[in-house]
Amino acid sequence: MPRYPETRWAWVEVDQAALRRNVRAFKQLLRPRQKMCCVVKADAYGHGAAACAQVMVRAGADMFAVATVEEGVHLRQAGITLPILVLSEPPVTAINALLQFQLMPSVYTVEFALALGESAVAHGMVAKYHMAIETGMNRIGVRSTDVVEFRRSIDFHRGLVCDGVFTHFATADDPDGWDFQLQVKRFEEAVAAMRDAGFDCGTVHCNNTPATVLSPATGCDMVRVGIGLYGLQACERTRARMTLEPVMSVRARITRTIRPAMGEGVGYGFTYRVPRAAVQICTIPVGYADGLSRTLSNRMEVLLRGMRLPQVGNICMDQCMFALTQTSRHPVPEAEDGEVVTIIGRDGDAEITLDEMAKLRGTINYEVACGFGMRLEKVYV
C-alpha cells in the first residue's frame, strides 16, 4: 500500500531499491580501488538529497558532490560523514561555512585559495580543496596550461591541501569525437605537468555519467556520477550499454471532478472547451510551480487506471485538469475523488517517462526531474 503525504494530494515517489541497484550497477563498471563520487546537487536531481545520500552510502558511495555550500551543509546536517565536494568556487564569504562543515570547495582563483588558507590557519585547521581544471568546456577552472603556475602561487600555504584535481567534459556523449579527445589530452597533460613539478594531485577525476559508461579508460581515480544513479540515461548512446531503473515517479490524487455542459471552457483563458456531453473534467493538485511546465498545457497526458488521458486547459500554478471522455464504444466507470493519477511513472502496463516529458518540453530529463523536486513532497518507497 503506497503512502501518501498527509497535507497534499501530490507527491514525488522515490524508489529506494531502484536507486540502490543503479548505484551498484555503476560500481560494477569501476576498476578495483576506483572510487565513486555520487553527485547529489539540486537536491539529488529533485529526488531529495538527504534520503538519497543515505541509500548511496549503504550502496558504496565514497564521496558526494554538490553544487552549493548550502547543499553541502544540508547533507552534513542529515548526518552524512563522507567527504563532500562543492563543484564550484563559492564566494569568500562562504569560507566559514566550508570550514565549519568540512566541505571541500573547487578552487580556481588564487584569491579564494589564499583566503581559504588564511581562515583555515586562523582556526587551527588545514583546508582540503579540489582544483578545477579548464580543458575546453569554458565554464570554470584554471586553464590547463596554467596549472603549475597556479599551484606555485598557492601551495606554499600551510593551511591548504590539494585533495584532488578534476575537469568536466562538455561532449562525453561522443567519446570518439575530437572535442572529447582534446579535453582528455589537455587534462592528462595538466596532471602530468603538476606531478613533474612535484605537486601532489590527490584524487584525479573527470568522468560524469556518460563518460563513465562510454569511456571507462578516462576514469582516473574516481568517477562523478549523477543522472545515471537516478535511473535516467544521459544520452541515447548510453541506453544501449546499460539498463537503469527509473527512481522518480510523480503522482497525484483527484481532488475534484465535474461534468460541464458542452461548449464550456476549462482553466485560464478557456484554451480547451468541452467538445461534447459526457466529458468528465478531473482536477489534480499539481501545477507549473511543481515542475509541470505550463508549455505542456493541452499537449501532455496523464495515466489513470492504466489509461492515457489528455491534460486539458492551461496548466495553473498549483493545479491542472484532465479529461475523461465517455463514448458509447468505450464506456468507462466515472473517475472519483481520491483516485491516484500518474504524471510520471508506471501505472499498470502504461508508462510516462521523464524522457517523454522532456522531449515534449524541448529539454532534457535532468531539467524535468529537478523541476518536480522543487516543491513536491517526496515519499520514499
Ligand X SMILES: *Cc1c(COP(=O)(O)O)cnc(C)c1O
Catalytic residue positions?
41, 268
Residue 112 or 288 with smaller CB distance to ligand X: 112
Out of 47, 74, 168, 251, the residue judged to bind ligand X by CB under 6 A: 168
Q: Classify strands 127-134 and 320-325 as parallel, antiparallel or unpaired.
A: unpaired
Residue 339 or 367 with smaller CB distance to ligand X: 367
Placement of cell 560523514 in the chain:
81
Q: How far apart are CA 208 and CA 192, in angstroms?
A: 21
One-character DSSP codes across 334-370? PP-TT-EEEEEEEETTEEE-HHHHHHHHTS-HHHHHH
Shortest distance, position 45 Cβ to ligand X, whole Å = 7
Give the CB-nearest residue to ligand X.
226
The stretch among 12-20, 195-203, 218-226, 320-328 that binds ligand X (CB under 6 A) is: 218-226
Contact 376, 11 (CB under 8 A): yes
Q: Does 130 bind ligand X (CB under 6 A)?
A: no
Contact 99, 120 (CB under 8 A): yes
Shortest distance, position 169 Cβ to ligand X, whole Å = 9
Closest to 185 in 3D by CA, of 206, 208, 164: 206
* Binding residues among 285-314 for ligand X as defined by CB under 6 A: none
Shortest distance, position 263 Cβ to ligand X, whole Å = 48
Number of Cα atoms under 13 Å in the Cβ half of residue 71: 24
Contact 38, 47 (CB under 8 A): no
Out of 12, 25, 29, 39, the residue judged to bind ligand X by CB under 6 A: 39
Closest to 73 in 3D by CA, of 112, 105, 45, 46: 105
Residue 167 or 342 with smaller CB distance to ligand X: 167
Residue 128 or 168 with smaller CB distance to ligand X: 168
Shortest distance, position 162 Cβ to ligand X, whole Å = 17
How many other CB atoms are found less than 10 A from the CB of residue 147? 26
Out of 54, 171, 183, 208, the residue judged to bind ligand X by CB under 6 A: 208
Shortest distance, position 79 Cβ to ligand X, whole Å = 23
Site string for ligand X, 219-258 (x = CB under 6 A): -----xxxx------x------------------------
Number of Cα atoms under 13 Å in the Cβ half of residue 190: 30
Contact 309, 321 (CB under 8 A): no
* Binding residues among 54-113 for ligand X as defined by CB under 6 A: 87
Contact 238, 203 (CB under 8 A): no
Shortest distance, position 234 Cβ to ligand X, whole Å = 5
Residue 168 or 378 with smaller CB distance to ligand X: 168
Shortest distance, position 227 Cβ to ligand X, whole Å = 4
Residue 94 or 266 with smaller CB distance to ligand X: 94
Q: How many residues bind ligand X (CB under 6 A)?
A: 11
- Read off the C-alpha cell for 230: 537516478
Q: How far apart are CA 218 and CA 186, in angstroms?
A: 12
Handedness of CA 50, 53, 58, 63 (dihedral sign): negative
* Binding residues among 256-285 for ligand X as defined by CB under 6 A: none
Residue 168 or 186 with smaller CB distance to ligand X: 168
Count Cβ neighbours within 10 Å for each residue of 337-349 and write b for 16 or more, e otherwise.
eebbbbbbbebee
Given the rule CB under 6 A, which residues bind ligand X? 39, 41, 87, 168, 208-209, 224-227, 234
